[in-house]
């Protein structure tokens, strides 16, 4: 399939309350969000005509904006309705959904007291993040050079655009070396997350996953924890040192884009996609498609 740039596509984007032609959904070059990172977003998926956990995503979008000290001028219900309307306008029932809110160009300085918040919603076809055959075998990760920041230095629980720059740098570096992604530590040296997904490990039938006090609490992560509870699987949410990876038999990532994806390698540590990882991957796939 030929690559099509995201600014040169057919369709419609919901932009500040109206639908505008895809190619006309533009903002000024001096927009505050571009220069100072005053931008938050969500990543959602529609399966079979229903956006999975839409309202929790929208609620997090509003919280993220508040953490960055601005308010999105639409209610949760209005944003939910706009997301669904955009999918319908595009004629899509299985797609990726991207709401993004940011501060405009009224004032281009560190101060943003006079800047108007904007909200746009775009949707597009996006199949599995990883090839299904590769996914079942497990993907390969390297260790990221960059670490997730101390919450005293950044609003680390917000899904804020600026927090993803080190994720982009880490993922680019990993892909250049033939890896699918990179695993990041937090500023203390504990395992944190991949560049856009939470991480889980398995040892003797028990799931271990990092605390999310200082990183994004993924909605897919929350869903997997719910599934594990339903299945009676013990979960330990705790700080995990990188050297502990030698004691785990399975590893997998969770996120809206990656869904549930087994991992077979993190640096020098290797894992075998086992029964629990594959069961959770299958269960999640059925759940989002309302097959359960």
- Per-residue pLDDT tens for 118-170? 999 999 998 776 776 778 899 999 999 999 999 999 999 999 999 999 999 99
pLDDT in tens, 69-92: 999 999 999 999 999 999 999 999
Same domain, 45 and 82: yes
How confident is the model at residue 279, as a pLDDT?
Answer: 96
From CA 7, how far away is CA 22, in angstroms rounded?
Answer: 7
**Residue 251, pLDDT above cutoff 60:** yes
Whether 159 is catalytic is yes
Same domain, 115 and 234: no
Mean pLDDT value across the chain: 96
How confident is the model at residue 136, as a pLDDT?
Answer: 80
Same domain, 149 and 59: no
**Residue 2, pLDDT above cutoff 90:** no
Percent of the chain scored above 70 by pLDDT?
98
**Residue 44, pLDDT above cutoff 90:** yes
Q: State the CATH number of the domain containing residue 170.
A: 3.20.10.10
Same domain, 154 and 275: yes
Given the residues 53, 62, 135, 159, the one annotated as active site: 159
From CA 104, how far away is CA 118, in angstroms rounded?
Answer: 7
pLDDT in tens, 189-199: 999 999 999 99
Domain boundary among 69, 98, 124: 124
**Residue 292, pLDDT above cutoff 90:** no
Taking residues 203-229, what's their average pLDDT?
97
Q: How sure is the predictor about 1, in pLDDT bands with cuts at 50, 70 and 90? A: low
Q: Cα angle vertex 199, ends 59, 268, to 5°?
A: 155
Total domain count, the chain: 2
Boundaries of domain holding 225: 132-288
Question: Which pTM was predicted?
Answer: 0.95
**Residue 203, pLDDT above cutoff 90:** yes
How confident is the model at residue 206, as a pLDDT?
Answer: 98
**Residue 264, pLDDT above cutoff 70:** yes
Whether residue 191 lies inside any domain: the answer is yes
> How far, in Å, are 32, 124, 235, 269 from residue 200 at the CA level?
36, 29, 10, 14
Same domain, 199 and 265: yes
């Amino acid at each position: 399939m030929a690559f099509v740039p995201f600014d040169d596509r057919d369709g419609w984007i919901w932009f500040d309350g109206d639908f505008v032609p895809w190619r006309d959904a533009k903002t000024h070059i001096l927009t505050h969000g571009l220069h100072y990172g005053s931008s938050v977003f969500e990543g959602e998926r529609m399966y079979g005509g229903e956006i999975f956990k839409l309202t929790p995503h929208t609620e997090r979008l509003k919280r993220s904006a508040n953490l960055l000290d601005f308010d999105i001028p639409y209610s949760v219900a209005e944003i939910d309705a706009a997301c669904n309307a955009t999918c319908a306008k595009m004629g899509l029932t299985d797609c990726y959904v991207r709401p993004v809110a940011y501060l405009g160009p009224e004032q281009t300085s560190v101060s943003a007291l006079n800047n108007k918040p904007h909200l746009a919603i775009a949707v597009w076809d996006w199949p599995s993040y990883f090839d299904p055959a590769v996914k079942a075998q497990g993907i390969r990760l390297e260790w990221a050079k960059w670490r997730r920041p101390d919450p005293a230095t950044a609003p680390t629980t917000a899904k804020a655009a600026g927090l993803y720059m080190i994720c982009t740098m880490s993922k680019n570096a990993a892909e250049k070396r033939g890896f699918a992604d990179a695993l990041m530590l937090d500023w203390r040296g504990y395992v944190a997350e991949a560049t856009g997904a939470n991480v889980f490990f398995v040892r003797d039938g028990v799931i271990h996953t990092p605390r999310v006090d200082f990183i994004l609490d993924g909605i897919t992560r929350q869903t997997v924890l719910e599934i594990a509870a339903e299945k009676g699987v013990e979960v330990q949410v705790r700080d995990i040192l990188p050297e502990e990876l030698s004691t785990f038999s399975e590893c997998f990532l969770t996120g809206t884009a990656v869904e549930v994806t087994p991992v077979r390698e993190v640096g020098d540590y290797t894992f075998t996609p086992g029964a629990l990882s594959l069961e959770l991957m299958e269960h999640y796939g059925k759940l989002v498609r309302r097959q359960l």
